[in-house]
A and B are shown apart, each in its own frame.
Chain A
Amino acid sequence: MGSITNSAGSFFNRSLAQMADLRAGIERTRTQIATGRKIERGSQDPAAAAQLRSVSRREALAQVEGDNAARLGQDLGAAAGEVQAVTELLQRARELAVQAASTATGSDGRRAIAFELEQLQQELFTRSNAVSLTGEPLFAGQSTGTAFTRDALGNVTYAGTPDSGAVPVAPGTEIERGLPGNEVFEFDLGGTPSSAFAVLGTLVSALQGGAPDPVAAANASLAGIDAALDTTNRAVTILGTRMAWVEQVEDQQADRKVALAERRSRVGDTDIADAIARLQQSLTALEASQSAFARVSSLTLFDALR
């Protein structure tokens, strides 16, 4: 018996296996097109799957950092708005102090000035305890209680912490949440610690008749008001700089988001044009293979025998 035979079973097995391979390839390409994902399981491309994991982690954190930055920007904006209002208030107080220091202003006039200054002092206290959109005190540092408290005598003291804490807005970047109240309203006057509240309070009581020489007292208060203005101006500058920083970080975050999305797409998304071309190619191959199989499988001697 001849040793070279072409076994019928072998021919059918081979043909079926080849067609099954083609069909599996087509199925995979079709899934890639339908889901838009190049990888269904990590083992199809372990390195790409690991990259996708780290990209998705980065994306999740970037999303949170973006939200953090946006809220930080709002809080800083609110604080800056308050400090700006405080600055205008202190400027008005200075004008009033200058008027009070003028001898032309009579005692009635000084009382009126004292009345307005009292209102200003009240507003100053309210603004120092301003809260953010979510109800957190703006100037209390890391404390959730009110920033400044007033005792029965009208003395205002800082109740917050000296540090306001930082918020992470980007990998390795943390921005201070705001300014603690002691850096906005308290300052050093001629070697002794003082505050905007104290300066205004002293002036008011002097003008209300608490001082023998209200003109001199008003003159003396000018240095204190100037120091308070310096402090708030500095605070506005600091807050403005931080807001600019937050904006810059937000710009970078937007750029990074695009970069991450691009990277995700490059690593994990199906290239539709390529996939469709491959699908077409595989379909053609499968059809050709099927018709070839049909023709070849009918080529046995039995078909020739009649």
Chain B
Amino acid sequence: MPTAIFTIARSGLTATRRSLELTAQNVANAENPDYSRRILTQGELVMTGNIGNNAQDSLGGVKPGVIERAESSLVQRQARDSASALAAAEAEFFAMKEAESALETSGVYTGLVDFEAALTRLQNNPTEPALRLSALEAGRKMAGNFRIANGTLANARGLVQAETSAKTLTVNERAAELAKINADLVGAREGTAGRAALLDARDKALRGLAEEFGINPTINANGTADVMLNGAPPVALVTGAVAQPLATSFAADGTVSFTVGGTPFVPAGGGMAGRANALAEMADLQASLDSLAVSAITLSNTAQANGVGNDGNPGAAFFSGTGAGSITMVLASADGLATAPAGAGPGSRDTANLAAFITALGDPSGPITGTDSLLLSLSSRVSALETRTEGLSVVAASAEAELLRETGVDLDTEAANLIRLQQAFEANSRVIQVAAELFDTVLELR
């Protein structure tokens, strides 16, 4: 029957055109990282009619099936987990790098060494006003450098805290988005382009969440995703169409704590965990810096109390303050610098007290060695974080490549498809032409 040939060819044209559309869609999204390539399934259409024992087949051509989306939940998960680990390491690395440059460039160590050197120079001639004044000013500079270090560290901490707050908003937005996608997915029909786009959006939202937290998603049969955040204890962020709000708060020492839907938890992965670690380490750094400042204050004031100044009076306190942020030089005059031991009288060139002070300052338990080991441990930590970040970025890059290999668009394949489908389209058109000629042949019978 020529009409059947028309129908068959038309179904072929329709199926081919829809495949071509999908190919065009794939090519258009070749550089879209959130896009999963699609294919159109096809099915043969055969109609069979039965009357009694007589069965009659009627060929109907091809039936365009459903849009299938290249999917690999395992590889998706690998990519998410490695991205999560990388984000944690990176966030911690960048924050600690900031802290490192804050402490290194503020010159705490140089200030202490210059103070020590100025005091040593004073030993040469303890009554020379110029040397006394330069020792006093070196002390002022040292105190200033401590305050600068305190300020830059606070700055670095503030940046991390601001990022944490901003990312909290992002997480809440993504969780709400995922909840909405879940709601939409329930109503989306299987095999439609709309559903495939929703699934793409779902995976994108999951990847976005994984950057901030280690997540443990459950993909349900209807395609919706429930998200548990890894941590102690694990908490549910998104269940079906409901997203729990994430909230962050900062303690006085700068450390951060998280609650999801009111339940406190400690995250175990993702950028948020990295930032939380960095903030905890910065709190430790602050404590160490404060104790170094207190050590410098105590040593100086003890030395002052033990000796007498150029005027023969007992030395007044050199510094005031309770930490790196408040250390201030309070000694009023250079003559008040207690270089001589108690009872030496005015104008003494005895440097016994000064020598004891220098020894205490340079002692392995003193602030100079303390600063050196603080800087060494900090830079070792940052170096280790850098190595870890590099390693994890290789892992994450290969997981991402694997994911793209599974779900991404291969332009060569699409180009080949294009030719194949073009030929199929032409062939189907030719079939219509043949059918028309057949029909004309029948009509022209005389």
A1-27 at interface with B (beta carbon < 8 Å): 1-10, 12-14, 17
Q: Is B39 an interface residue (CB 8 A)?
A: yes
Residue of chain A at shortest CB distance from B394: A17
CB of B372 within 8 A of CB of A54, answer: yes
CB < 8 Å neighbour of A42 from B33, B117, B379? B379
A1-B127 contact given A12-B31, A13-B397, A65-B120, CB 8 Å threshold: no
Q: Give min CB distance, B41 to chain A, whole Å.
A: 10
How many angstroms between the C-alpha atoms of A79 and B419 in the bound complex?
A: 104
Chain B interface, number of residues (Cβ within 8 angstroms): 60
Residues on B close to A: CB < 8 A?
A: 30-33, 39, 70, 97, 100-101, 104, 109-110, 113-114, 116-118, 120-121, 123-125, 127-128, 340, 344, 347-351, 355, 368, 372, 375-376, 378-383, 386, 397, 400-401, 404-413, 415-416, 418-419
CB of B408 within 8 A of CB of A5, answer: yes
Name the B residues within 8 Å of A56 (CB-CB): 110, 113
CB of B350 within 8 A of CB of A60, answer: no
CB < 8 Å neighbour of B349 from A5, A6, A9, A144? A144
Q: Give min CB distance, B232 to chain A, whole Å.
A: 30
Name the A residues within 8 Å of B401 (CB-CB): 7, 10, 13-14
CB < 8 Å neighbour of B382 from A43, A54, A163, A167? A43
How many angstroms between the C-alpha atoms of A143 and B348 in the bound complex?
A: 5
Name the A residues within 8 Å of B124 (CB-CB): 67-68, 71-72, 167
A165-B125 contact given A2-B413, A10-B405, CB 8 Å threshold: no
Chain A interface, number of residues (Cβ within 8 angstroms): 54
How many angstroms between the C-alpha atoms of A44 and B401 in the bound complex?
A: 29
CB of A134 within 8 A of CB of B404, answer: no
Residues on A close to B: CB < 8 A?
A: 1-10, 12-14, 17, 41-47, 49-50, 53-54, 56-57, 60-61, 63-65, 67-68, 71-72, 134, 136, 141-145, 161, 163, 165, 167-168, 177, 300-302, 304-305
Residue of chain B at shortest CB distance from A167: B124
Interface on chain A toward B: helix, strand, loop, or mixed SS? helix
Name the A residues within 8 Å of B340 (CB-CB): 142
Q: Give min CB distance, B321 to chain A, whole Å.
A: 24
Name the B residues within 8 Å of A50 (CB-CB): 372, 375-376, 379
CB of A41 within 8 A of CB of B120, answer: no
A–B complex contacts, Cβ < 8 Å, 21 sampled: A5-B405, A5-B413, A7-B405, A7-B408, A8-B409, A8-B411, A10-B401, A41-B97, A42-B375, A43-B378, A43-B379, A46-B376, A47-B376, A53-B375, A57-B109, A142-B350, A143-B348, A163-B350, A165-B349, A302-B411, A305-B418
CB of A41 within 8 A of CB of B372, answer: no
How many angstroms between the C-alpha atoms of A42 and B379 in the bound complex?
A: 5
Additional A-B contacts beyond A6-B405, A43-B382 (20; CB < 8 A): A5-B410, A7-B401, A8-B30, A9-B30, A14-B401, A49-B375, A50-B372, A54-B372, A56-B113, A57-B109, A57-B113, A60-B113, A60-B116, A61-B117, A67-B124, A141-B349, A142-B340, A142-B350, A300-B411, A302-B415
